Each structure stands twice: as C-alpha cells, then as structure tokens.
Structure 1
C-alpha cells in the first residue's frame, strides 16, 4: 500500500461586497446606518429601517419599543433635538437611552386621516406649511412602571400608567392622571406639548425608583394654532377655525395644547439623567 500524502487545501475566500465610500470604512460607521429591524442592511434616508418589509415586520406586536444603538445616526439626531430644546438655565443632561416607538397600523391610519382632515379645513399648504402642520414636540408625564429602564423594555399592563397609555395612544386628559397633573400644574385638560425639552421635563415624574427621567417625542398635528398670552394659556380652548392653542409670549419654550387624540402620535422615548442629580 502506498503511503498517503496529506493535501493542504487552500480555503475558499468569498468575494466581499463592495461598500461605497472610503475604503477604510469602520465598523462603527457601518453601524451608524444599520436597519434596527434586520440588523443587516443599511437603513433608508431619514429612517431607521431599510425598507417596507422591515417596517411591516416592526409592526408586529406594536406598539413596542426598539432601542437605538448609541452609534446610530438617529440616536444622534434625537439627542441633538433634545439638546437644542433644553433652554433652561439648569445643566443640560445627556440622553442615555433612546427607543423608537412602533405604532399600530390602526393608529397610523387614524393619525393620517386627522392630519388630512385638518389640511382640508385649513389649506395650510398655500402658506408654505406642511399639510396639517405636524410638529415634533416633547411630552412629559408620569412614568408609573419604569419603562425604558434596564430590564423594563416592554409596556406595562396597568390602565393607570400615563406613560404606557400615551405610547398606546390611549389618552385620558380628564381621567385619573389628567386630574393628578391638573392639580400639580393647574393646566386645562388637553395634551400639553412643547418644543422645549426642558419645559416638558417639568411634567416628567417617575413613581418608581429610577436614576433616569423620561420624555416622549411626539408627532403633533397643531393645524392652525390660536395664540394666547401666558395668563390665559391654561384656561383657553381654541375657537372656531383653530385646532390648538399656543403660548404667544415665548418663542424659546413654545407650548401647545391639542384636544384631539388623533392629533398626537408618539415617536421616541428618551431617558436622561435628572439635571438636579450628580450621580451617574
């Protein structure tokens, strides 16, 4: 029998898919635009998803939270928006965790119908305003369950948790937590939002022990806002021809109150350190 000779096989190297851009593209830069659903493809412009399939998949079990990696470009965009809106003299805190909020198809549908209805009534496009005049505005409320904290990535089942109910688009400004906030802040029943994260921070509170505060970034159809001075803001309602009210005395801390559930859809949950705290 002839002795056998071991044959060394050259490993097959699969050709790499060329990535457009600099040859020395870092892994961090790749993750900067990764789709947060499939984690394999680059997301589309101004989106956190790569396409329609991943958007549809993300709707499963909605509403829910999907955490953004700190290196993701959308994390930086929301952080920058949070920073730009912090106009208080207090030390500006840094966002620690940011979650995308997926909406149900039904909530998307009713929001779209409301926005289109406002546009039909107000014809805002002729004024160079986006149809319905949607704004990205901050909303602070009571966080009963600690959603967003480590190990608390899911919405709670409590019917009295203002934060989780807001994420579900179940608004009850005249109910239990509406009355609680009204007693504390004396504002007229309605959904109160602001362009200033530092202003909405005043309405944010956790009922459980947490090292972080939480704010929601909402898409809000303000339509044609009715301007009122500060002393009338908390007791006014929009007259005929208007869709919301706005404080006319402040441009740095614009505040709105809207009165229709379908005018508001939550987009992101932002957790940040309390500016009054020195702990990390």
Structure 2
C-alpha cells in the first residue's frame, strides 16, 4: 500500500499508518506520547476520519445527526497508554473479550476543538480538558465526590453509551464556552469485559458485582433505562480516543 492522504501517519506525516496501530511505528508512538496530551486533526480523506464519521452517524438514533466540523485524534502519555494496555490485556486473558468503542461527553468550559484552539485549558470547571489530560481519571474522581444519588443511576463509575445521539445530549458548553455554536463528543476506547446486565438503577455501586468488569443498563420491557448505558469503575478501563466537534 502506497503512502496517500488516506493512510498517512498523523505524527510524522512521512510514512503510512500501520493498519493495526494509530501511527506508522513504535518511534512515532513514542514521539506522540512525549507531547501528549495533544489533538491531531484528522483529514477528511483519512481512513481514521472515515471510521469515526461512519460510526458516529450509524449510532445516531434520533432524526438527523448534526454536521461534523472536525475530528481529532487524542494522543496519550506513555503512562496512560501502558496502564490501559495492561488492564485491557488482563481482562481479555480472563474473559476473552476485546476492547470496544463507546461515546461520552464532558462539560466544556473553553473553545477546545474549534479553529485555532487546540491547546487544553487549565480551567477548573472544564471537565473536557481534565478528562483528556487524565484519561477520564478526573471523571471517576468527580463521580465519587458526588453526595446523594443524583447523576448516579449505576453508581460512581464512568458512564458511556453506544448511542452517539445519547452522548450528544450531554455535550454541554459552560462558562466561556457559552454561546458557542460547537459541541464536543468523545469517542472512547473502553474495556467492558463481562458486563453485569440490569434493567434497574443502583446508585450504591462503587464497582461491578463480583465476577464482572462493568455494568450495562439495558433497555426493554420493565427497564428503567431508555438507552443502553455502559459503566466502568476502574480508572484504567477507558481512554478518550477521538474528539468529535459538531455544529450545534
């Protein structure tokens, strides 16, 4: 396969991306980690863009999805990558289940992802930048700091959904991002392992029941969930993979 705009490595922009990896080589992975976290804009002709775009649109369950303005690859530090890989491999060896993709949104208090704004902010109320910087560890800490049952339908974990339209409902702009015509949704890489399936809320959860690695709120008759929810409780079970910017 020749090097084209469809498969070029987003780090070095000189060699073709390896099919099974985000970059062309271990060296480019290392170089990306050294500057992480960072947003690398994905060209619309690129295979990564096509994959994320098609998944987002196919998982939209409302009328018409919003226009995608841009998609960014999120780079990880070496520590965030190795801890995720280690947890994923451990769960896969026990359950035979591979990682998968889910959507999640975080409150955005800056203009991250808009033209000319690719640097993560340091605002204490910007949950989006904190989530990208910490690999969602800040999101888990926030959930565990909540007093009372509000927002804890399945306890103190990191909530995701296979539905892009469900995630979009939580793409909220606050603070200096108020008034922006853009919203942000994250596509994540997540390790669900063997999920405990339930139709009922349980705000008391701090971890899945014994023998499970996640909790799935399933829909159907007598269910308390209108949309599927997948929740993990281990800080290394999930990482932000792509930032999808949408015209509101």
Instruction: Give the 3 Å change call, closer, same or farther, for CA 221–205 of structure 1 in structure 2.
Output: same
More displaced 10-residue stretch of structure 1: 42-51 or 194-203:
42-51
Quick check: 1:34–1:48 contact (8 Å CA) kept in 2? no
Q: Confirm whether residue 99 of structure 1 aligns to residue 64 of structure 2.
A: no
Q: Which residue of 1 aligns with 2:242?
A: 268
Of the candidates 151, 156, 160, which is equivalent to residue 125 of structure 2?
Answer: 160
Q: Which residue of 2 aligns with 1:211?
A: 181
Of the candidates 70, 76, 82, which is equivalent to residue 109 of structure 1?
Answer: 82
Of the candidates 68, 87, 92, which is equivalent to residue 42 of structure 2?
Answer: 68
Cα offset, 1:51, TM superposition: 2.0
Quick check: 1:87–1:196 contact (8 Å CA) kept in 2? yes
The 5-angstrom pairing of residues 1-280 of structure 1 reads 30-88=4-62, 90-120=63-93, 123-125=94-96, 129-130=97-98, 134-168=99-133, 169=135, 170-173=137-140, 175=142, 179=146, 183=150, 185=151, 187=153, 188-207=155-174, 208=177, 209-229=179-199, 231-232=200-201, 236=205, 238-249=208-219, 253-274=227-248
Distance in 1 of aligned mates of 2:67 and 2:226: 19
Distance in 2 of aligned mates of 1:177 and 1:224: 23
CA offsets 1:86-135 (integer angstroms, 9 cap, x no match): 112x3212321101001011111111222233345xx222xxx33xxx11
Match of 1:56, SS state, is helix
Q: TM-score, normalised by structure 2?
A: 0.84
Quick check: 1:173–1:179 contact (8 Å CA) kept in 2? no
How many residue pairs end up in the alignment? 236
Cα offset, 1:252, TM superposition: 10
Q: TM-score, normalised by structure 1?
A: 0.76
Distance in 2 of aligned mates of 1:202 and 1:186: 17
Taking only aligned residues, the RMSD between alpha carbons, in angstroms, comes to: 2.6
Quick check: 1:144–1:162 contact (8 Å CA) kept in 2? yes
Instruction: Give the 3 Å change call, closer, same or farther, for CA 109–92 of structure 1 in structure 2.
Output: same
Instruction: Give the 3 Å change call, closer, same or farther, for CA 77–159 of structure 1 in structure 2.
Output: same
CA offsets 1:198-221 (integer angstroms, 9 cap, x no match): 111111111113211111111111
**Which is bigger in relative contact order (C-alpha 8 A, separation at least 6)?**
2
Quick check: 1:214–1:271 contact (8 Å CA) kept in 2? yes
CA offsets 1:59-91 (integer angstroms, 9 cap, x no match): 222111111111212111100010111112x32
Quick check: 1:87–1:253 contact (8 Å CA) kept in 2? no
More displaced 10-residue stretch of structure 1: 169-178 or 104-113:
169-178
Distance in 2 of aligned mates of 1:235 and 1:201: 26
